[in-house]
């Protein structure tokens, strides 16, 4: 009898699924992410913690979703063509808390399309990128004074020390299956959502999908022990990133 945690889902908001068996020594989360066809900025930043309003158009499955800073300032506005599926289609804008636009971009069927512009908090342009069917085809970066410079990579995920395999290995080694539950054949998958903040700390861990109070508590304990991450970055700046982690308890 043993516990299996062979499937790690990272960035549930970003749609990434990683199988432990598929990983190579030294492979990182960003190595995997760069291979994915659809990328978006919505899972980066603290916005998932903020209040959201959804305005649905009549006789359609589409909607516009607005999120707000605790101060009441608009944080983000996103157009979706299918609210249930979360399909991005149309304008997406994000603001700094001072009211200045941070990111302006467009999506077509979940893919970045056309020009994306990011700004410094002062309002000067930071980067200009061109996308075609979700693929970056051209980019330019600018210093705060407008001097041209190379554009940073748009999205960088947090990285666990050593990469993906050490992360999966640590999860397996640290997870204890309560013996009374083994005898009772209590099995299932616990899904824990957590935040890796801009300092690389695991924060805001909570059980999204539970199985049994003891298994839920064990999965939560393990996730909270996964410290020491390199922070994620959005357009070169350290930021919060939300993850989802399923821990599967199975008797074999």
- Per the domain annotation, does 41 fall within a domain? no
Q: Which residues pair with 233 in a beta bridge?
A: 156, 238
Confidence category of residue 56, pLDDT binned at 50, 70, 90: confident
Domain that holds residue 65: 46-152
Q: Answer yes or no: are the C-beta atoms of 48 and 242 closer than 8 Å.
A: yes
pLDDT (0 to 100) of residue 116: 96
At 16-42, the pLDDT tens digits run: 444 444 455 667 777 766 666 556 666
- Per the domain annotation, does 213 fall within a domain? yes
The pTM assigned to this predicted structure is 0.77
Of 152, 185, 201, which marks where a domain is finished?
A: 152
Q: How many other CB atoms are there within 10 angstroms of residue 72's CB atom?
A: 7
- Per the domain annotation, does 245 fall within a domain? yes
Tell whether 190 and 211 lie within a shared domain: yes
Tell whether 60 and 131 lie within a shared domain: yes
Tell whether 24 and 99 lie within a shared domain: no
> Domain holding 176: CATH number?
3.30.1150
At 87-130, the pLDDT tens digits run: 889 999 999 999 999 999 999 988 999 999 999 999 999 999 99
Tell whether 52 and 147 lie within a shared domain: yes
Mean pLDDT on 140-156 = 94
- Per the domain annotation, does 2 fall within a domain? no
Tell whether 133 and 215 lie within a shared domain: no
Q: Is the pLDDT of residue 179 over 70?
A: yes
> Domain holding 107: CATH number?
2.20.110
From its phi and psi, is residue 175 left (phi > 0), alpha (psi between -120 and 50) or beta? beta
How many structural domains does the chain have?
2
Tell whether 127 and 188 lie within a shared domain: no
Tell whether 148 and 162 lie within a shared domain: no
Q: What percent of the chain has pLDDT over 70?
A: 83
3-class SS of residue 74: strand
Tell whether 82 and 22 lie within a shared domain: no
């Amino acid at each position: 009898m043993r516990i299996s945690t062979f499937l790690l889902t990272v960035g549930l908001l970003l749609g990434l699924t990683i199988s432990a068996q598929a990983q190579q020594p030294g492979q990182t989360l960003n190595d995997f992410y760069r291979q994915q066809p659809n990328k978006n900025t919505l899972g980066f930043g603290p916005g998932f913690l903020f209040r959201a309003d959804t305005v649905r158009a009549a006789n359609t499955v589409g909607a516009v979703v607005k999120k707000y800073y605790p101060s009441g300032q608009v944080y983000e506005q996103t157009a979706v063509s299918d609210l249930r599926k979360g399909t991005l289609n149309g304008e997406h804008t994000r603001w700094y808390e001072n009211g200045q636009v941070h990111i302006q971009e467009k999506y077509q069927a979940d893919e970045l399309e056309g020009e994306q512009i990011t700004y410094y908090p002062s309002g000067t342009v930071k980067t200009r990128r061109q996308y075609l069917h979700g693929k970056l085809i051209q980019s330019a970066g600018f210093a705060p004074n407008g001097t041209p410079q190379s554009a940073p990579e748009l999205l960088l995920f947090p990285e666990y020390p050593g990469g993906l395999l050490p992360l999966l290995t640590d999860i397996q080694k640290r997870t204890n299956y309560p013996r009374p539950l083994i005898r009772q054949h209590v099995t299932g998958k616990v899904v824990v959502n957590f935040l890796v903040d801009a300092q690389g700390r695991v924060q805001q861990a909570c059980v999204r999908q539970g199985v049994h109070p003891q298994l839920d508590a064990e999965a939560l304990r393990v996730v909270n022990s996964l410290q020491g991450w390199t922070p994620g970055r959005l357009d070169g700046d350290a930021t919060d990133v939300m993850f989802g982690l399923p821990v599967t308890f199975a008797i074999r």
